[in-house]
Structure 1
């Protein structure tokens, strides 16, 4: 099965993605993570105004198979969270990049994005191709 990894996004080793526009970062989980987790039944996210730190857990995602920590791909303050993903976590499974995003963060150091993987590099990492 071929999963999508949009080229405009950057990816982490822990399977989160980040889309940086100026200093605002949209964060979610990759199609690979969704595929590995299976049916997502619950997501726990920080509140608007909370600070998150790159590499640290900022919430959890739960599927019928497992509960996994969500790791911040970039540091900053939460300026928006996707309450639809909290209320209806299945949207993360069906559309992780458009309707299933998790947070928007006001990045404190946008250059942290440089430590993430391009779509091509991420695809090689997870699919070996």
Structure 2
């Protein structure tokens, strides 16, 4: 299941594990990503809390948690290769994996078709 937030984060649920990153639209708006600051494993967040920070040649931008949960893994590869966020935002450019506090919270997010329509209106 793949869902998107209005802040341009995506979340992919696989069993009880949610993988979170930023959308292709978001990485294009940021430009070349030069640094990613990730949270610590064990960090607990509520939906809407700051989850990570992305710095690009244009600006620094917060990445918000699309759902509540606990960070169980971070994508350490981004430390040495932050450009992966630009090259593969929906694959190798993921930020964190987390447990999900409430799976029903995913129902408040957009599916891919709704997100595409949302971006076209921006």
Same fold (TM over 0.5): yes
* Unpaired stretches in structure 2, ≥5 consecutive residues: none
Partners of 1:103 and 1:84 in 2: CA distance: 11
Which of 60, 69, 73 aligns to 1:67? It is 60
How many residues align? The count is: 122
Q: Give 1:49's aligned residue.
A: 42
**RMSD over equivalenced CA pairs, Å:** 1.3
Measure, in 1, the Cα distance between the counterparts of 2:16 and 2:47. Answer: 15
Q: 1 CA distance for matches of 2:102 and 2:15?
A: 11
Partner of 2:120: 127
- Give secondary structure in 2 for the equivalent of 1:99: coil
TM-score (norm 2): 0.95
Deviation at 1:116, TM superposition (A): 0.5
- Provide the rounded CA distance (Å) in 2 between the counterparts of 1:53 and 1:85: 23
Q: Where do 5+ consecutive residues of structure 1 fail to align?
A: 1-7
